């Protein structure tokens, strides 16, 4: 069984330039969230899917809550932030299966109240 043992975690980081109003004070600083995957076999699609789900949760913390539906520009900025953070996180992995599973996954939709 092939495992990526050298990497036990990675950091989801983003310069948040498109934050919601509630996160406006954080727009000029980097936020980092460590996402562990030492319990996953990311050389297999099932492990990659779980990792990507964890990445999406971390990205939602970096980008902040989804703006109100009436704030279309803010919602578009939030979607852009999520895509940017996830794209960079996946690229930083240098793990072919994770990249392939990510490219095949549906767009990010995070429901928040």
DSSP string, 24-63: GGGTTSEEEEEEE-TTS-TTSHHHHHHHHHHHHHHHHHHH
First to last CA, the chain: 41
Cα separation, 57 vs 31, in Å, equals: 14
pLDDT in tens, the chain (113 residues): 334 333 334 555 443 333 333 343 343 346 788 888 899 999 999 999 999 999 999 998 888 888 888 888 999 999 999 999 999 999 988 899 999 999 997 665 555 54
Cα separation, 6 vs 54, in Å, equals: 19
Phi, psi of 112 (to 5 degrees): -135, 145
């Amino acid at each position: 069984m092939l495992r990526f043992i050298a990497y036990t975690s990675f950091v989801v980081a983003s310069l948040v330039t498109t934050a919601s109003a509630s996160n406006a004070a954080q727009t000029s600083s980097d936020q980092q969230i460590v996402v562990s995957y030492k319990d996953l076999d990311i050389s297999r699609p099932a492990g990659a899917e779980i990792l990507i789900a964890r990445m999406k949760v971390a990205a939602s913390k970096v980008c902040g809550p989804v703006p109100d539906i009436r704030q279309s520009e803010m919602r578009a900025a939030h979607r852009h932030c999520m895509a940017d953070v996830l794209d960079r996180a996946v690229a930083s992995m240098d793990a072919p299966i994770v990249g392939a599973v990510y490219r095949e996954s549906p767009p990010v939709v995070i429901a928040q109240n």
